[in-house]
Amino acid sequence: MNDEDAVGALKRLGLSTYEARVFVALQKLGTGTASEVADIADVPRSQVYGAAEDLEGRGLVDVEQSNPTRYRPVGVEEARERLYRQLRSESDAAFDYLESVREEYGATEESESIWTVRGDANVVSRTAQLVESADDHVVYGTDDVSQLEPAVRDALAAAADAGVAVTVVSESEAVLDVARDLGARGVSVAHQPTPEMGAERVVMVDDAAVLVSVASDDGTETAFWSRDTGFAAMLSSLLGEFVADVAGEQ
């Protein structure tokens, strides 16, 4: 990391460009006047005063009332804690506001929405979130053990531990072995006629939410999911009937 990297990081923590450059310069100097700071900070001296005053307001700089005025930065650990606290405070306020206005102008009628998630990591995250939201039962289908990523395994195991009925459906014995290790019921469809959808994974939660993923042309995973819609109810019903029929024969 160099000075510009540090300035960029401080900007992401809420400082302006001039504030960040002045603060980095003062850390190098220990104490300094506006002229001394300007010499190494790539900040016009006229702008150093305002930036230093703003840093003082943030509790990051002490000002010595001398002629010329001298500035001293707080220690690195103290600065870290102050910026973290300010960032947490700002983020808490922002997200509290977003929560208060969420769907303020949203439609009151049920939306028949099917959402798209692209990218392997995003699909895994959405899959785990859906499983974690289960209150009663989960059906998870895949023929590839690599589609049981650590986050998905953790979510399935936690659901089973919480008393949720977790069923894993697969043609693969490797998948079913993992499912049983997680405390889930494994249902084999190795000798069953199954529809060829080209799906990487299928998830059904509480007959209310479904997710179906496919491999994109570039090899990454794309998922389509829906909750509390007619589409989700229909697909959940079909999947539930299929699993019940297959499980009844085993």
In the predicted model, is pLDDT for residue 81 greater than 50? yes
Residue owning tokens 């700002």: 90
Out of 75, 103, 128, a domain closes at 75
* Two structure tokens written together for 160: 């089973």
Task: Identify whether 80 is part of a domain.
Answer: no
pTM for this one?
Answer: 0.62
Does residue 42 sit in the same domain as residue 159? no
Q: Across the chain, what does the average pLDDT equal?
A: 87
Strand partners, 199: 214
Mean pLDDT of 18-41: 93
Q: How confident is the model at residue 248 (pLDDT cuts 50, 70, 90)?
A: low
Ramachandran assignment for 42, one of left (phi > 0), alpha (psi -120 to 50 degrees), beta (any other):
left
Q: What is the pLDDT of residue 182?
A: 93
Mean pLDDT of 58-78: 90
Containing structural domain, residue 25: 3-75
Task: Identify whether 81 is part of a domain.
Answer: no
What is the percentage of the chain residues whose pLDDT exceeds 70? 91
CATH number of residue 185's parent domain: 3.30.870.10
Task: Identify whether 176 is part of a domain.
Answer: yes
Separation of alpha carbons 178 and 148, rounded Å: 8
Mean pLDDT of 63-75: 89
Q: Are 76 and 13 in contact (CB under 8 A)?
A: no
Does residue 51 sit in the same domain as residue 148? no
Number of domains within the chain: 2
Separation of alpha carbons 42 and 145, rounded Å: 55
Mean pLDDT of 171-190: 90
Q: How confident is the model at residue 193 (pLDDT cuts 50, 70, 90)?
A: low
